[in-house]
């Protein structure tokens, strides 16, 4: 799980670095930024979905014990 968080942080960092390069005019290919931003966004959405499912499962277990 820690590897997944590290991977997510790396994707976000890469996307942010490319965004800065795009704004400053140092980016050679804007497609690189577009792809990195899409990858980071997808990873964040997946992480949130997994977290939500885990919380739902935990809550269901707590209801079963009550």
Query: Could you tell me which residues come within 8 angstroms of residue 14 by beta carbon, excluding any fewer than 6 positions away?
Result: 36, 40
pLDDT at residue 2 is higher than 80: no
Query: What are the CA-CA distances from residue 13 to residues 2, 18, 38, 65 (Å)?
Result: 16, 9, 13, 42
What's the whole-model pTM score? Answer: 0.79
Region for residue 4 given its phi and psi (left: phi exceeds 0; alpha: psi -120 to 50; beta: otherwise): alpha
List the domain range (segments joined by +) for residue 31: 2-65
- Structurally, how many domains does the chain consist of? 1
Residues 32-54 have a mean pLDDT of: 96
pLDDT bucket at 23, cuts 50 / 70 / 90: very high
Find the helix packing angle between 30-65 and 2-24, rounded to 10°: 150
């Amino acid at each position: 799980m820690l590897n997944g968080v590290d991977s997510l942080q790396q994707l976000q960092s890469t996307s942010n670095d490319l965004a800065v390069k795009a704004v400053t005019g140092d980016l050679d290919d804007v497609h690189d930024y577009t792809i990195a931003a899409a990858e980071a966004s997808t990873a964040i959405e997946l992480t949130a979905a997994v977290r939500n499912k885990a919380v739902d499962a935990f809550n269901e277990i707590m209801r079963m014990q009550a």
